[in-house]
Amino acid sequence: MRIKVIMSHKFSLDLNGYFSDMKLPELDQIQLEELDKGRMLPIMEEFYTIQGEGHHTGKPAYFIRIGGCDVGCHWCDVKESWDASIHPLKSVDKVVEHAAAQTAKTVVITGGEPMTFNLNYITQQLKKRGISVHIETSGAHNFSGTFDWVCLSPKKNSPPKSEYYEKADELKVIVYNRHDFEWAKEHALKVSDKCRLFLQPEWSKRDEMMPLIVDFVMENPEWNVSLQSHKYMNIP
Ligand code: SF4
């Protein structure tokens, strides 16, 4: 039996709370169950590259970008990720095979907002292969999965759920305007002592914001500067 889940209004079928407001492609019952269990996911792209941002900058990693995000940051540089319905559901087992075939044994799961979906299965399978699993998330949706590194990047449109703060290994705040320094300080008070703190200029505002970030970090040395170094290296 085919179930049409894409609607002209917001999708409202709640499968374990993982996606309640997301447009998805037309799926049959089996695909819906596989998506619910996290054995199929809308994969936008997967590629082997160098991590360009944050604490692990400069390290090789296999990136898995999951489509779908309802956070809606106006400066987002991957808006093509937002609509999950245009990204085909892929077998997670196949994606894990691709990751395991790479030389470096680190995977970064990103998006979109990857926590829109159930990440328990993909992280279990990656870890069974001895792969270190990192996540880049806004924290806007329920947490799922097991990770070696959690990068929390809070967004004003949809602030993180409280469960993320103790899990975050890294807090990465994107600086688009002066108010983002206050937003950064507010979140730094909520994360654990182990969490590393990063400020990263939003790409289109980098010339304007970089001097302010430099001054802020020199005055607040618990913070670090993060650059989108992959863009300078001209790699994905
Ligand atoms: S949370 Fe990330 S993917 Fe979603 S709109 Fe914001 S920057 Fe873009």
Cα 110 to Cα 20: distance, rounded to the nearest angstrom: 19
Identify the bridge partners of residue 50 per DSSP, sorted by sequence position.
Answer: 60
Ligand 1 proximity of 67 Cβ (cutoff 6 Å): no
State which amino acid sits at residue 39: R
| 39-66: burial string, b at 16+ Cβ within 10 Å, e else | bbbbbbebebebbbbbbbbeeebbbbbb
Ligand 1 proximity of 236 Cβ (cutoff 6 Å): no
| Res. 16: pLDDT tops 70 | no
Cα 164 to Cα 8: distance, rounded to the nearest angstrom: 32
Ligand 1 proximity of 69 Cβ (cutoff 6 Å): yes
Cα 85 to Cα 186: distance, rounded to the nearest angstrom: 35
Ligand 1 proximity of 76 Cβ (cutoff 6 Å): yes
Phi first, then psi, for residue 96 (nearest 5°) are -65, -40
Number of H helices, E strands in the chain: 7, 11
The pLDDT value given to residue 17: 47
The pLDDT value given to residue 9: 29
Burial of 194 by CB count in 10 Å (0-12 exposed, 13-18 middle, 19+ buried)? exposed
The pLDDT value given to residue 14: 46
Q: Look at residues 195, 192, 199, 193 and name the one whose alpha carbon lies nearest to residue 220.
A: 199
Q: At what angle do helices 120-128 and 92-100 cross, to 10 degrees?
A: 30
Which residue has its alpha carbon closest to ligand 1 atom 6?
A: 73
Rounded to the nearest angstrom, the distance between the alpha carbon of 147 and the centre of ligand 1 is 20
- Condensed to tens digits (0 to 9), the pLDDT of residues 44-67 reads 999 999 999 999 999 999 999 999
- Condensed to tens digits (0 to 9), the pLDDT of residues 112-152 reads 999 999 999 999 999 999 999 999 999 999 999 999 999 99
Which residue has its alpha carbon closest to ligand 1 atom 3?
A: 112
Rounded to the nearest angstrom, the distance between the alpha carbon of 2 and the centre of ligand 1 is 31
Ligand 1 proximity of 71 Cβ (cutoff 6 Å): yes
Rounded to the nearest angstrom, the distance between the alpha carbon of 1 and the centre of ligand 1 is 34
CATH fold of 2-233 reads: TIM Barrel (3.20.20)
Rounded to the nearest angstrom, the distance between the alpha carbon of 107 and the centre of ligand 1 is 19
